[in-house]
Amino acid sequence: MSAPATSPRAGPGLWPRRRAPLGALGWCALAIAGLVALPIAAVVVALFGGGTATWSHLVATVLPAYVWNTVWLLAGVSAGVISIGVVSAWLVTAYRFPGSRVLEWALILPLAMPAYVMAYAYTDWLQFTGPVQSGLRALTGWQAREYWFPDVRSVPGAAAMFSFAFYPYVYLLARTAFLTQSRSAVEAARLAGYGPWGSFARAALPLARPAIAGGTALALMETLADFGVVSYFAVETFTTGIFKAWLSMGDLAAAAQLATALIGFVLAILVLERWSRGAARYHSTSLRAPLSPQPLHGARAAAAFFACAAPVLFGFLLPAAILAAIAVDAGPQGWAPNLAALVANSVSVAAISALVTVAAAVVLGYASRASRSPLVAGASRLAALGYAVPGAVIAVGIMVPLGRLDNALAGWLEAAFGVKVGLIFIGTVTALVYAYLVRFLAVALHAVEAGLAEVRPSMDDAARGLGLGLLATLRRVHLPLLAPSVLAAALLVFVDTMKELPATFALRPFNFDTLAVAAYHLTKDERLGEAALPALLIVAVGLVPLVLLSRRLMAIAR
């Protein structure tokens, strides 16, 4: 008698697991992942398909400046977000001082302030004719060229804008890490003779290292993706170079070559973040006993309050106040005349993108849960990589395949039916929504997967026992339970879409401006009075998810 066949994946005493067929849901998940990967693949392919004349010119003239400025920006932003985010997270977690309850949620408010909006406000405030230098001259009697004042439109100025805008990524992850640490590690350091900051440096900080590295990586990827700040400050980086090669030189292949180099920076950040952990382990081996906040009084309480209040002041309150003052001074007659159309365009494209992106995230998340195919699980992980790709790279990657598809369709329609059509995908909202899907699918997928993780597998088994198929189980069991997660995902994608500038700037249809694009154009033309209200509206929309996030953060802290 021959021995029964066994699966190499089957453990002793277990029946071998049979691989389930992909089904329609699995194939849809693979198609979505393919759509997300297509722009990145197109950029890499275009790297080898273009000429070398423009690239040689770029290498000989501006490429060293792109590399140098990008490296300095990343170094400055790393130092800024780590110092601000880690110190503030530790202070509001380990100590109690006047205002700490308010500051622990207010410290995330700069997430609602896009970096380019902050740059607009500070440029008006700090320029030669602005209130700061005007007040300094009135106070001292100095004239032009008789004093030195730092230029905000510089690499250090851009690094400062990014640091104040992106430090909440480090703050949120570091604070969560500090909240979940056991106090036994800190107490052991204090028993060893270390003071408060010695215990922090020797015990709490090393345990939070993965969270800090992850938050810093997010901040650096957002820095690489920026177009508004570096363009407005005239800082030459890869993002500005991509648009110059594409729009000014008309060489999409050269833009793709620069975009590939930018992807190399993103990959380097991800590799460094993973390499920084090494083989170390950071989990606690003792039972979790949360830190007991220690009260601070006198000068120490004042210093802690200033250290935590300064990021909120300079990262949110001050730029919002500057823009509000500019908008009030301009009055209704000085506001953008097409403000209603800008709001309608921004809200409509953001709503469509949120619906499409959340629907794709639900398909990916549920297919990964229901299917036993490692191919579907890998597709889900592949689709999440789009968030790490800058919007400028996505725009270039979408232009290449969709442009060829448009030309092929136009040729076929004219040959088959004698109908001449223009661009069907490029130059329409379709390309814009596609870019938002690639860019923000990971945001929605994370929220949907978190919601699916809370649904017990026994509910799937019970639904199938009652004769429900996969789609019926999704519709009647999972979607009602996923409603809060789906709503949160849609809200996050909506807000991110409202703030996105590079992809919108490159792919928007003709005569279709959003609040972000209008604010950028108006400030480039030094019409900040007209740009102030659109910029403030972007900030106001961004406050909505932050209120929900702060409430959840406060619940965790309690």
Confidence bin at 448 (pLDDT 50/70/90): confident
Residue 215 has pLDDT above 60, yes or no: yes
User: Roughly how many angstroms between the first and final C-alpha of the chain, as a whole number?
Assistant: 65
Q: What is the structure's pLDDT at 553?
A: 59
Looking at residue 7, what is its pLDDT? Answer: 40
pLDDT exceeds 50 at position 157 = yes
Q: Categorize the per-residue pLDDT at 320 as very low, low, confident or very high, splitting at 50, 70 and 90.
A: very high
Q: What is the pLDDT of residue 436?
A: 93
**What confidence category does residue 485 fall into, taking pLDDT thresholds of 50, 70 and 90?**
confident
- Mean pLDDT for 200-217 is 78
pLDDT band of residue 235 (cuts 50, 70, 90) is very high
pLDDT for 76 equals 95
Write the DSSP string, 112-130: GS-HHHHHHHHHHHHSTTS
CA 320 to chain centre: 21
Q: Which residue has the higher pLDDT, 464 or 226?
A: 226
**Range with the poorest average pLDDT among 61-75, 430-444, 535-549:** 535-549
**Which pLDDT score is estimated for 8?**
42
**Lowest mean pLDDT segment, chosen from 9-13, 465-469, 521-525:** 9-13
| 534, 339 Cβ separation under 8 angstroms | yes
Which of the four pLDDT bands, split at 50, 70 and 90, describes residue 11?
A: very low
- As a whole number of angstroms, the distance between CA 3 and CA 245 comes to 66
Q: In the chain, pLDDT over 90 holds for what percent of residues?
A: 22
Mean of the pLDDT values across residues 209-219? 84
Mean predicted confidence (pLDDT) in 11-39: 68
Give the Cα separation of 470 and 467 in Å (integer): 10
Answer yes or no: is pLDDT of 541 > 70.
yes
Which of 66-75, 237-246, 449-458 shows the lowest per-residue confidence on average (mean pLDDT)?
449-458
* pLDDT at residue 439 tops 80: yes
* Mean pLDDT confidence for 247-265: 82
Three-state secondary structure along 364-412? HHHHHHHCCCHHHHHHHHHHHHHHHCCHHHHHHHHHHHHHHHHHHHHHH
Max Cα separation, the chain? Answer: 105
Residue 542: name the closest of 63, 199, 168 by CA: 168
Query: Does position 10 have pLDDT exceeding 70, yes or no?
Result: no
| Residue range 490-516, pLDDT digits in tens | 888 888 898 888 989 888 888 888 999
Over its C-alpha atoms, the chain yields an Rg (Å, rounded) of: 26
- Average pLDDT across the chain, whole number: 81
Lowest mean pLDDT among 33-42, 310-319, 545-554: 545-554
- Residue predicted with more confidence, 220 or 479: 220
At residue 17, the pLDDT reads 42
Q: What pLDDT shows up at residue 373?
A: 73
Q: Are 88 and 222 in contact (CB under 8 A)?
A: no
pLDDT given at position 335: 75
Structure tokens belonging to residue 387: 């968030």
Residue 5's pLDDT band (boundaries 50, 70, 90)? very low
Q: Rounded to the nearest 5°, which phi and psi values hold at 294?
A: -95, 135
Higher model confidence: residue 160 or residue 558? 160
pLDDT digits (tens, 9 = 90+) for 257-314: 888 888 888 888 877 777 766 545 444 444 455 567 788 988 999 999 999 999 999 9
| Average pLDDT of the residues in 405-429 | 78
Among the ranges given (167-176, 291-300, 477-486), the one the predictor scored with the smallest mean pLDDT: 477-486
Q: What is the pLDDT of residue 85?
A: 94
Band of residue 244 on the pLDDT scale cut at 50, 70, 90:
confident
Looking at per-residue confidence, does 507 or 422 come out higher?
A: 507
Residue 364 reports pLDDT greater than 50: yes
* Strand partners of residue 294: 95
CATH superfamily of 42-138+150-335: MetI-like (1.10.3720.10)
Q: What is the pairing mode between strands 95-96 and 294-295? A: parallel
Fold agreement between 42-138+150-335 and 339-512: yes
User: What is the pLDDT at residue 207?
Assistant: 74
The pLDDT score that the predictor gives to residue 285 is: 46
Looking at the predicted structure, is the pLDDT value of residue 190 above 70?
A: no
At 48-95, the pLDDT tens digits run 665 567 777 788 888 899 999 999 999 999 999 999 999 999 899 888
Predicted pLDDT of residue 159? 95
Can you tell me which residue has the tokens 């130059």? Answer: 427
pLDDT of residue 117: 92
The whole-number average pLDDT for the span 338-357 is: 90
Sketch the domain layout of the chain as residue ranges.
Answer: 42-138+150-335, 339-512
The CATH-assigned architecture of domain 339-512 is Orthogonal Bundle (1.10)
Cα 1 off chain centre by = 61
pLDDT at 175 over 80: yes
Q: Which pTM does this prediction carry?
A: 0.82
